[in-house]
Structure 1
Amino acid sequence: MAAAPSMAAAIAASLPAPQAAPTPTAPTYDAIPASMAKAIDIETDIPVTSVQLDGLVVSKIVKHSREVQSSNAHGLLLGLDLDGTLEVSNSFALPHHFNDDEDKSTKGVARYQASMLRSLREVQVDDSVVGFYQAMPLGSFYSQTLVETQAVHQDKLRHGGVVVVHDISQGARGNASFRAFRLTKAFLDAYKKNNFSTDSLIVHRLTFSSIVEEIPLRIRTNPLLSSFLETLSAPAPTLAVDVKPSAATSTAAVPPSFSVLNLGSGNISRNLEQVIDALDNYRTEEGNLAYLQRQIAREKAKADAYVGKRKEENASRVAQGLAPLPEEDVSRLFKVPPEPSRLESMLLLGRIDATAKSLESTSSAGLVKMYAAKGSAGV
């Protein structure tokens, strides 16, 4: 019996030793050559024709604009472009520093933006910037700050990006108003040259209506969110046995809104105030432009008079057989101011137009409500 273990040990020793499974080598990826990057990325050749906002993005923008209660609510839009549709799947708000200087505020926002994008990348969430959003009255969209920000985005981002404007005046009345814009090519050409003189506006055919172009926008909600909203708005049945059939349902989680019955007379007065303020600002800007034009005309008249007088002196000296006086650089003698930029006046005209259209829609809806209220009251 003692030979059995020794025989088993001998057999085990004669067998080949088990080999460990080979460790799979890590896959290697060759970098795409720079010359082939554009050929592979075919999405760059497809222009963006529409914008799609996810329901999460809409709720975030509305929440942010209500918390800030001013036109300083702004943030970045994240997503991707697919077959000409810019799909915005996420967003985050950017901080606004009230008491800091401009340089410190800009650096703080840049650090916060880099930190947020890095955190989103770590959790495998969309981190590609496709534009930014701004919550403000629609007429105030025409501002140099917003135009400059959008110009930087259209220069840096692949498809130029878009700016989504949330009209807080409509949101206060219970209407979620979202519109997507981007700068036109003619305006970008003049902006890059930093030339908004009268001749440049004529060459580029620029008016206040050709500063931006609107892109069709739609909102997408997934089935889970739609069912959740339906559950909140639908009344839930009660479980009590001794309840009358007429009261067998409880109230919904989302109470009914009667904001549509508001005649909106206060909104009309606010819109009128915005139109008057925009007109006052435009009149002030036109007064400044007129003053600069008169100053330029005076300096040019002085320069022309000096040149004419020098020509007469040289003609008389030549007639007397004397050498003419040397010609002098008129630009050194007379400082003719450059022609002022008309960008601000164009933006003010666009603000007046947008505010007037908002006033038109608000007043028309108010008139219809007033006639309905008058008819229902039997007056």
Structure 2
Amino acid sequence: MAAPSMAAALAASLPAPQAAPTPAAPTYEAIPASMSKAIDIEAEIPLTCVQLDGIVITKILKHSREAFSTTAHGLLLGLDLDGILEVSNSFALPNHNSDDDEKATKSIARYQQSMLRSLKEVQGDDNVVGFYQATSLGAFFNQSLIDTQAIHQDRLRHGGVVVVHDISQTARGNASFRAFKLTPAFMDAYRRANFSTAGMISHRLTFASILEEIPLRVRTNALLSSYLNTLATPSTSTFSGAHPGVATTSALPPSYSVLDIGNMGLTKNLEQVAEAIDNYRTEEGNVAYLSRQIAREKLRAETYVAKRKEENARRVAQGLNALPEEDVSRLFRIPPEPSRLESMLLLGQVDAYAKSLESNAGTGLVKMYAAKASSGV
């Protein structure tokens, strides 16, 4: 007889289990109406607003100022509650300028996982609700932003948002933050990879219908508001014989940037408009070249099919068997229709630069007329 196993020996040494009492039927309580709106497990409540905490605004401003050019980007953390996406924290993602894109992507993914794990260990917000991206002159249309947002909308519960921060507006003293998400029509075309001319017409896509803007608001707590008010409130100098000009001081020095009538920003804006138009013309030239190649291959295939039909008609008339029909796609490699997505994104950049130029030029003209009127010239 085989010796019993260790598990069987341990089981035999334990006391016999007693019969468990029959559990009582569970009782359920109705969720209050207010709580049923907040608990949105199926993500049925549409997103109506994005709310950024003051600490998130500060982090994005700091990262955008310290980063090179407009490469600042990072993740947004928070919670969606009753149709409001509350963003309570954020952290920056590293920017790799290496040629190996796959290696850089893996490095960023490892850094992101490490940060989320660290936040979870210290009981911090680790729920990703979107990402932020710094831009200049309002031109944020690019393939990288579209791909990242499309991944977020497929994987996150409410789709997530992208918060765009305009560095050029901040340099003029106007902190610019806008929240966007991809439209359903664009997401449908993106999943099908259908950005041909016919696909864009069927989905009614233009550069203006790629993203939809979501209202955004900033939330500050009472302590921070009190601190800012204290900084902005003038205080009386402690010196009795102080000059009248310095008799009152403030922790925040006055800013005269709004009085600057320089045209350096307009020059840069015009350069960006010209560069965007050149890029669009180059892309349109590439699309036209591919379209001509497709037309030539289709003409060759149609000519071959017509000749084969004529030859078969002649053979049938002579009492011979017709030649078998061949697969034209195997004989002629007709390229697929080129994607028009890049052209559409470049048009969006041109439109953004043009709107920024219009705004800056209008503000500059008002300042110039005001300066002329005050000087009496």
Equivalent pair of 2:38/2:81 in contact (CA under 8 Å): no
Post-superposition offset of 1:56: 0.8
Q: 1:301 aligns with which of 292, 299, 318?
A: 299
Q: Deviations over 1:303-342 (max 9, x none)?
A: 1011011111111111111111111111111111110001
Equivalent pair of 1:136/1:166 in contact (CA under 8 Å): yes
Post-superposition offset of 1:248: 7.3
Instruction: Give the letter aligned to residue 273 of structure 2.
Output: V
Higher alpha-carbon deviation: 247-256 or 76-85 = 247-256
What's the counterpart of residue 314 of structure 1?
312
Post-superposition offset of 1:40: 10
Q: Deviations over 1:119-162 (max 9, x none)?
A: 21122221111000001115431100110000000011000000
Instruction: Give the letter aligned to residue 116 of structure 2.
Output: L
Query: In structure 2, what is the Cα distance between the partners aligned to 1:288 and 1:242?
Result: 74
Post-superposition offset of 1:180: 0.5
The structure that has the greater radius of gyration is 1
Q: Which secondary structure state, in structure 2, belongs to the residue aligned with residue 328 of structure 1?
A: coil
Give the structure-2-normalised TM-score.
Answer: 0.87
What's the counterpart of residue 5 of structure 1?
none
The alpha-carbon distance between structure 1 residues 331 and 273, as it changes in their structure 2 partners (threshold 3 A), is: same
Q: Map 1:191-270 onto structure 2 (within 5 A).
A: 191-243=190-242, 246=244, 249-270=247-268
Query: In structure 1, what is the Cα distance between the partners aligned to 2:327 and 2:242?
Result: 99
Post-superposition offset of 1:262: 0.7
Query: In structure 2, what is the Cα distance between the partners aligned to 1:101 and 1:261?
Result: 46
What's the counterpart of residue 61 of structure 1?
60
The alpha-carbon distance between structure 1 residues 259 and 247, as it changes in their structure 2 partners (threshold 3 A), is: closer
Query: In structure 1, what is the Cα distance between the partners aligned to 2:98 and 2:308?
Result: 57
Query: In structure 1, what is the Cα distance between the partners aligned to 2:286 and 2:231?
Result: 56
The alpha-carbon distance between structure 1 residues 302 and 139, as it changes in their structure 2 partners (threshold 3 A), is: farther
Query: In structure 2, what is the Cα distance between the partners aligned to 1:194 and 1:100?
Result: 26
Q: Map 1:16-27 onto structure 2 (within 5 A).
A: none
Query: In structure 2, what is the Cα distance between the partners aligned to 1:57 and 1:188?
Result: 28
Q: Any stretches of 5+ residues in structure 2 without a counterpart?
A: 1-25, 27-35
Q: Deviations over 1:30-63 (max 9, x none)?
A: 9xxxxxxx99952511111111111111111011
Equivalent pair of 1:88/1:130 in contact (CA under 8 Å): yes
Number of equivalenced pairs:
342
What's the counterpart of residue 18 of structure 1?
none
Instruction: Give the letter aligned to residue 237 of structure 2.
Output: T
Equivalent pair of 1:165/1:178 in contact (CA under 8 Å): yes
Give the structure-1-normalised TM-score.
Answer: 0.87
Q: Map 1:1-379 onto structure 2 (within 5 A).
A: 41-42=39-40, 44-99=43-98, 101-243=100-242, 246=244, 249-379=247-377
Q: Which secondary structure state, in structure 2, belongs to the residue aligned with residue 372 of structure 1?
A: helix
Aligned CA-pair RMSD: 1.9
The alpha-carbon distance between structure 1 residues 100 and 339, as it changes in their structure 2 partners (threshold 3 A), is: closer
Q: Which secondary structure state, in structure 2, belongs to the residue aligned with residue 181 of structure 1?
A: strand
Q: Which secondary structure state, in structure 1, belongs to the residue aligned with residue 126 of structure 2?
A: coil
